[in-house]
Structure 1
């Protein structure tokens, strides 16, 4: 097996010339994205579409960094804020309606623990998955192999090294579940601050006030 085949099989591999060649298109596109006029939303959106391929309504506030782009699959209405980094050596799968605050990092890439093994130049990529309707707080790091469920909030500054279940609010280093999200949370927009009547009526009119199917 060559190193591209080894990488894609989830085996330890070496970033040789063929592997690096596969990174060139993403490097060109991220450079174009990161130097684009920040007010040219149409151009930014078009570059994001080319970089991520299959996507619907995805938008990224530059700067943004990734290794390949083709190993990132996002659902509808994906949004990543400034300075997001996704090391997509392994597959990164992100569901619908996911938001990432500034400085979020998703790492599928890793290196052996023992220095002799690490200095051999072998590395690896383990997939990461994030479900639908997730919000990842600023300065959070998601490590290789992590699976985050649906409707999850990851608090700012978290380091996620283990799977997080559906409907959880989780935070910390290492990241742990703090509590579960319930229907009672619907009426609040920030801590104990409730939506005002005008906003709540708008939510209700648009189907966001309790008519959703959780399944």
Structure 2
């Protein structure tokens, strides 16, 4: 029988409030409390804390504060990445941000989702184990490819990949994959032009 962690890793419905996830959240909360309290110019301590807490992190990475995340351990960031202030990365599944990417303020990235049908969304074990969550969750990874620019206030939904070199306009809600080298905007986010690279 699969554990809730194994179900999560394979993209199946799982109970997000079992002990392993409570531990991950506790660790992430401690990281966030410390990270968000550090002075802006304390670059070495900020860097050391990110290296210890995130899944992986490259060189020349900045993450502005305040910053929020779910587990921290599922966030993987490449080289030369700028994440501006007040971003929320809900990393139940992997969030992968490739090299040379800019993420503007107030960007939200979600990997957790729930069934549409109420009968599937409700946790059948809740009545007898009500320390668990009353709904079931599924976690789907998000991938932001190399050289992207994600505009302020963008929301990226579970399972989305944004293609290399693409620009997402401010305030967009990205509900499906975006191809390489395009500008895409809106709710739902749609391609409005191709970017011709020299």
Q: TM-score range by the shorter chain?
A: 0.7 to 0.9
Count of residues in Structure 1 that have an aligned counterpart in Structure 2: 184
The residue number in structure 1 matching 2:112 is 109
Task: Give the structure 2 partner of residue 6 of structure 1.
Answer: 7
2: distance between equivalents of 1:28 and 1:78? 24
Deviation at 1:53, TM superposition (A): 4.3
Structure-2 separation of matches of 1:53 and 1:71? 5
Note the residue ranges of structure 2 that are not aligned, 5 or more in a row.
124-134
- Mark the structure with the bigger radius of gyration: 1
Question: Per the alignment, in what secondary structure is the counterpart of residue 14 of structure 1?
Answer: coil
CA offsets, 1:79-101, max 9 Å, x none?
A: 11011111111111111011100
Q: 1 or 2 for the larger relative contact order (CA 8 Å, sep ≥6)? A: 2
Normalised to the residue count of structure 2, the TM-score between the two structures is 0.88
Secondary structure of residue in 2 paired with 1:122: coil
Unmatched tracts of structure 1, length 5 or more: 184-209, 211-215
* Partner Cα distance (2:89, 2:55) in 1: 15
CA contact (8 A) 1:85 1:106 kept: yes
Normalized against structure 1, the TM-score is what?
0.81
Q: How does 1:184-199 map to 2 (within 5 A)?
A: none
Query: Which has a greater percent of helix?
Result: 1
Asked if residue 119 in structure 1 is aligned to residue 122 in structure 2, the reply is yes
Shift of 1:77: 1.1
Give runs of ≥4 in structure 1 deviating > 6 Å: none
Q: CA RMSD in A?
A: 1.4
